[in-house]
Structure 1
């Protein structure tokens, strides 16, 4: 997946007068602080903000687009969006591509300068929408105004455990129909998603993806539920990141919750399908727990379906004869 051309061109224009070596250094400093959790402030200056736009915005856009595409299978019409910790408005770009019905948008972001840079990237479609920018720390911004769709993307890891629970509760209170959470696809990121999922269920939420149920999560031990999205690196992205490849894979965990019950997928493919000699091996999360299923070529219909399944897709309807 690639950034929309108009977005990439706007980012490229924004960096025309910048020193690339300064942005490269800012990217390295920002990455080191992020991984070692040394900084009280996530981003400190414009060089780091630009490095974020170039190297992280493509990944969060790709993940957001994929997750919201999952939501679009259940949601007929989304009219309003509240994005908490919106950064430069990345998720809005994904949402407007999938839900043309969105008219009213509220973006809450503490870093006013990052939000300002992001707003400068908006194309003509976004400029025609009713977009309200609110500069606020999420820990102090609640209560939030009600919106059809509420999103919280790559934010929970920046909050303490108590603040995570408080923000999720306030976000759910503001949700009219759907609430979407996304985190890095690490064991720690998934644990935050799992805890949020449990909290949402306790508050009456109905889980619609990726889980095929609203029961207790069956993942145990060192296992964790995550998915992967491959994104194209732009020439500028490769230059700043000093990357040899034209792509990268972003691992992520997510959950989509709804106010009303909806039909679940029967299962979810939770690992990359494995093709053997005359069969496929699928690892699935089902309403009856985790299952490994072998689809033989002898079952022509299921085998044909399995050939086109990818990691993260809803699983096939099984006949009970293919479980290992």
Structure 2
């Protein structure tokens, strides 16, 4: 299904929480709504499913209006599968029965064959006779996905599907879920507040916050080409370094001048330059030095927090065999592929 959300608004308790939302998800793509808690992500997902009304705008599936002015197609008529945060497995049925539950209109042998195929797809081929409570949280989530896929939906919706799992399992399970969706050729829309899940699963990500969809695009673009300060701050790590841009687009920073596409209108303008930790390179031969004020060991890398001579701080990812102590000064330089500049905000 090609999903199109057009200028949609949703809310609850008589209050609009998200408005002006527009994006498109192509057939077979995995999309994600990423944002902080209470941003309206789940409410919008439920509106796509048909469980919540729209306050404005429209939702279309393959050109058909699912929700819009005077139209609200019931959930069972949308050909959409839903995977809930709490799995919603039926405790009185075994795993195979749970997956087979939505196939009651099919001949029994055909439904059972389809259910077994889906359990094999999610790596639980031998778990059909087990009870849901005998499974781990990650296994229960796989069963919920298998049940959603068994009915051959045109789109699968996933509401914070990995939030109850150990953080170490989330990325690997997200990759497995993505592989299962791609195998079936089914698109999906995921809601999460976890960048790890979003980056692992999604072809396109929408950052939701402050009542609006702030940016819709690939993870690479959200990280390297954020549309605004909110996206820059919410996606990935980084700091905003003070700079000054001239009318030719040269930005003066403590690291020297860098080139930006942003040009001032004939006068110098104060700006903030977004620096990701991978933009700041440890280089013993660099003329600029910074003092290490904090360090976090990440196995293959250290994340150093560095203080420049003017008091501004930046972060740098450094291979972990460069083991420097807090208080030590090290040489640093910039390696900027994407120069992202925001006008300086005044209080």
TM bracket (short chain): 0.3 to 0.5
- The structure carrying a bigger strand percent of its residues is 2
Q: TM-score, normalised by structure 1?
A: 0.34
Work out which of the two has the higher radius of gyration on C-alpha atoms and give 1 or 2.
Answer: 2
- The structure carrying a bigger helix percent of its residues is 1
Q: TM-score, normalised by structure 2?
A: 0.32
